[in-house]
Amino acid sequence: MSKNNLSERQLLNIAGLGWLFDAMDVGILSFIIAALHTEWNLTPNEMSWIGSVNSIGMAVGALVFGLLADRIGRKWVFIITLLLFSIASGLSALSTTLWMFLILRFIIGMGLGGELPVASTLVSETVAPERRGKIIVLLESFWAYGWLAAALISYFVIPNFGWQIALLITALPAFYALYLRIKLPDSPKFTQSIAEHKPSVLDNIKHVWSKDYRKPTIMLWILWFCVVFSYYGMFLWLPSVMVIKGFSLIKSFEYVLIMTLAQLPGYYTAAWFIERMGRKFVLITYLIGTAASAYFFGTAESLGLLLASGMLLSFFNLGAWGALYAYTPEQYPTVIRGTGAGMAASFGRIGGILGPLLIGYLTTKGASLTVIFTIFAGAILIGVASVIFLGSETKQKELA
Query: pLDDT digit string (tens) for 145-183?
Result: 888 888 888 888 888 888 999 898 878 777 777 677 667
HSE-CB for 382 with a 13 A CA cutoff: 18
CATH number, domain with residue 152? 1.20.1250.20
- What's the rounded Cα separation, in Å, for the pair 336 and 128? 20
Question: Domain range spanning residue 101?
Answer: 8-390
Percent over 70 (pLDDT), the chain = 95
Nearest Cα neighbor of 329 from 317, 342, 310, 320 is: 342
Q: Do the domain assignments include residue 242? A: yes
Start-to-end C-alpha separation, the chain: 29
Q: Do the domain assignments include residue 400? A: no
C-alpha dist (Å) from residue 174 to 79, 169, 186, 326: 9, 11, 19, 26
- What's the rounded Cα separation, in Å, for the pair 116 and 165? 25
In 3-state terms, the chain is what percent helix, strand and coil (to 5)? 80, 0, 20
HSE-CB for 31 with a 13 A CA cutoff: 33
Neighbours of 155 (CB within 10 A): 17
Q: Do the domain assignments include residue 279? A: yes
Q: How many domains does the chain have?
A: 1
Q: Do the domain assignments include residue 295? A: yes
pLDDT of residue 255: 83
Per-residue b or e along 86-122, where b marks 16 or more CB atoms closer than 10 Å to that residue's CB = bbbbbbbbebeeeeebbbbbbbbbbbbbbbbbbbbbb
Q: Encode the chain (400 residues) as per-residue pLDDT tens digits.
A: 344 567 788 888 888 888 888 888 888 887 888 788 888 988 878 888 887 888 899 899 999 998 998 888 888 898 899 889 888 988 999 998 999 999 999 999 999 889 888 888 888 888 888 888 899 999 988 988 888 888 888 888 888 888 999 898 878 777 777 677 667 777 777 777 665 667 788 889 999 999 999 999 999 999 999 999 999 888 877 777 777 777 776 677 788 888 888 989 999 999 999 999 999 999 999 999 999 999 999 888 888 888 999 999 999 999 999 999 999 999 999 889 989 999 999 999 899 888 888 887 888 888 888 999 999 999 999 999 999 999 999 887 777 6
Question: Who's near 181: CB < 8 A, 6+ residues apart?
Answer: 79
